[in-house]
Homo-oligomer: A and B are copies of this chain.
């Protein structure tokens, strides 16, 4: 089966981390050619060509930039460190604006000095400050809850309920959440979280969960290779009213080894089989 161009693909998007062999320009051209509607980008891959030029290139190819990864990493042991990180987040907002990205993704952690409670307070304060800057640039901020596996080294925000509470507490601008099946599928409160997420979902990413986990960082699964009921997950997200792009983001050396053209075909096939 070759799913490319099939009618069910209408919302399918790619995240550039799934196809790292391509330059960003190649990824824009390749995803447009393959019928994907959008592409999620990473900050370290847009520096050379520049965000404004890449944004024009994508629009010219009929492709949305569904997300820019990533802002966040707010916490630091001292004030100077926290200021440096906030300045870097201001740059990320500017890049997202120049790209015309639908949202800037925030990875909210880790805590400084292993102080989880303080880290959670620091994250709330930082989001409130960044939200003002993002509002002036009209960039929606998407708080991404990560799997609790990353609580020590990446994100103190590990559940949808927690991300929604943070989003609701930011009084300025558009602050919402990025939902990723890999990070959220295990949560016994996922259904109630999705029930409370209407109007707050700014993006959606999919990867499967391979059990047992082959690698804590780069062991994410191709759609259909793991334990997640992706169709049920999407139905829950659909019920929030989110109608935007569905990015596929898979950190996995076996996927990275493929020819990106082949990855695009495989993802489209698996998407039709397991998601759409």
CA distance A229 to B111 in the complex (A): 12
> What secondary structure prevails in chain A residues at the interface with B?
loop
A213 part of interface (Cβ distance < 8 Å): yes
**Cβ–Cβ < 8 Å partners of A226 in chain B:** 114, 152
**Cβ–Cβ < 8 Å partners of A162 in chain B:** 188
Of the residues B116, B149, B161, contact of A149 by C-beta under 8 Å: B149
Cβ B188 vs Cβ A153 within 8 A? no
Of the residues B152, B161, B186, contact of A209 by C-beta under 8 Å: B152
A196 part of interface (Cβ distance < 8 Å): no
Cβ contacts A203-215/B at 8 Å (1 or 0 each): 0000001111100
A159 part of interface (Cβ distance < 8 Å): yes
Cβ B227 vs Cβ A217 within 8 A? no
User: With A188-B120, A188-B162, A216-B216 in contact, do A211 and B147 touch (Cβ < 8 Å)?
Assistant: no
A151 part of interface (Cβ distance < 8 Å): yes
List the interface of chain A (C-beta within 8 A of B). Answer: 110, 114-116, 120, 147-153, 158-159, 161-162, 185-189, 209-213, 216-217, 226-229
